[in-house]
Amino acid sequence: MGGSADKSEAGGGRWELAAHLVRDRRLGLAMLGGGLLYFAIAVFGWNPMPCPFLQVTGKPCPGCGMTRSCFAFLRGDFPEVWHLNPFGPVFAVFWAVVGFGLALPQPWRARFADRLGRIERRTRWAAWVACGLAIYNLTRWLTVW
C-alpha cells in the first residue's frame, strides 16, 4: 500500500530527483513543459527570462549557458558544449528520462519511478553533479575558461 511513497521516503528519499518528479506528476509536467517552452522560444534567439544573477553581478550562475549547450549537444558540436557548459548534456538526458517516465501510464509509471529511485539512491548522481557544477562555476568566476 503506497509502495512508491514508502520506498521514496524510507531513508534514501533525499537522493531522488528524477523519481520525485515522475511521482509528483503535476510538478514534473509543469517543470518539463516550462523547460520545453523556454527551449522552443530560445530556438528563435530570444531569451525570455534572463538570468537575474548574471544581470546583477555580471558573473554566470551554474545554469548559465545550459540552454545553448543543449542546442550544441543536439547538433553534435561537442567542443561548443564544453565551452558553453559541459553539464548541458547531463540535464538534457535527465529531462528526457523524466519525460519518458511522465509519459508512461500507470502502473508502469510507478514501477519506473521505483526503479529510477533505486538507481538514484545507489548512485547519488544528482549530488555528485551538483558538486561538480558548483566547482565548475567557481572556475568560471575565476575566468579560467
Q: Which residues contact 45 (CB under 8 A, 6 or more apart)?
A: none
Is-contact 54 44, C-beta < 8 A?
no
CB-nearer residue toward another protein: 42 or 110: 42
Between residue 23 and residue 52, which ones bind another protein under the rule CB under 8 A? 26-27, 30-31, 34-35, 38, 48-52
CB-nearer residue toward another protein: 20 or 109: 20
As a whole number of angstroms, the distance between CA 27 and CA 121 comes to 21
CB of 52 to another protein, least distance (A): 4
Which of 4, 23, 66, 92 is the binder for another protein (CB under 8 A)? 66
Of 64, 34, 33, 36, which is closest to residue 50 (Cα–Cα)? 64
Between residue 80 and residue 139, which ones bind another protein under the rule CB under 8 A? 91, 126-127, 130, 133
CB of 117 to another protein, least distance (A): 12
What letter represents residue 34's amino acid? G
CB of 99 to another protein, least distance (A): 14
Cα 98 to Cα 31, 95, 138, distances in angstroms: 10, 5, 28
Is-contact 7 16, C-beta < 8 A?
no
- Interface residues with another protein (CB under 8 A) are 13-17, 20, 26-27, 30-31, 34-35, 38, 48-53, 55-56, 61-63, 66, 91, 126-127, 130, 133
